[in-house]
Amino acid sequence: MDNKQSLTYWKNKAESNPTIKASKVSDINDFSDYDKDFILKYADKNTTILDLAAGTGITLNKYYDRVGHVTAVEKFSQFSDFIVKASNVAVINSDIVDFVPDSKYDLILMFGVTHYFNREESVFLYRKYKEFLNNKGKLIIKHQFGVNEDVTVEGYSEELKCNYYSQYRYIDSEITLLKNIGFKTVDCIDIYPKECNRWENTHFYAIVASV
């Protein structure tokens, strides 16, 4: 897998007159209310957050006023234009591979991100951003993972009416990977109701990795 394949998909969406829901693969995958509630379990008015690949802010716009500060990093300005304008929100248009923070954070979010990167690329991202967590800070990763093995989706999607590529890595392997990188605790949470998981071989989880 090469992340450039995934970037082509998102570049096309960004350049196709997007709406605020464009950063979701499809409308039926808009679980932003669940995501907002989950994030706020780990945040309060003093929490600083780095939201990586923040998209249109469909989730950020629902939690920003209940935290201290959010730095939203989003490659495509057509998406980030939808992010709320607020004194405690900074928007940076950059690829998360290249972006270098100038401070540390209490929470770093990767929601719907790393299944577009291969294992080697994800290790790079996990190691990189681990260094920008405050003491007792947490990296939260959320997307679909393989239930029993890696699951790769590649080719033309009848549902999306376009080419699509994603790799849902085996959940147990991803947890082991994060532990090997050096996170002190790695918790796996079944984040959504059963009906949100449409496929037998993949499942939505949130991984909370703490330093």
Number of folded domains that form the chain: 1
Sheet containing strand 48-52, edge to edge, reads 89-92, 69-73, 48-52, 105-111, 133-146, 202-210, 185-189
The CATH number linked to 75 is: 3.40.50.150
pLDDT band at 11; cut points 50, 70, 90: confident
CA 32 from centroid of its chain's CA atoms = 12
Domain range holding 34?
A: 3-210
Report the C-alpha gap between 140 and 210 in whole angstroms. Answer: 9
DSSP structural state of residue 83: S
Report the C-alpha gap between 108 and 37 in whole angstroms. Answer: 16
Q: If you average pLDDT over residues 127-149, what whole number do you get?
A: 97
> Taking the model in full, what pTM does it have?
0.90
pLDDT band at 19; cut points 50, 70, 90: confident
**pLDDT digit string, tens, across residues 90-126:** 999 999 999 999 999 999 999 999 998 889 999 999 9
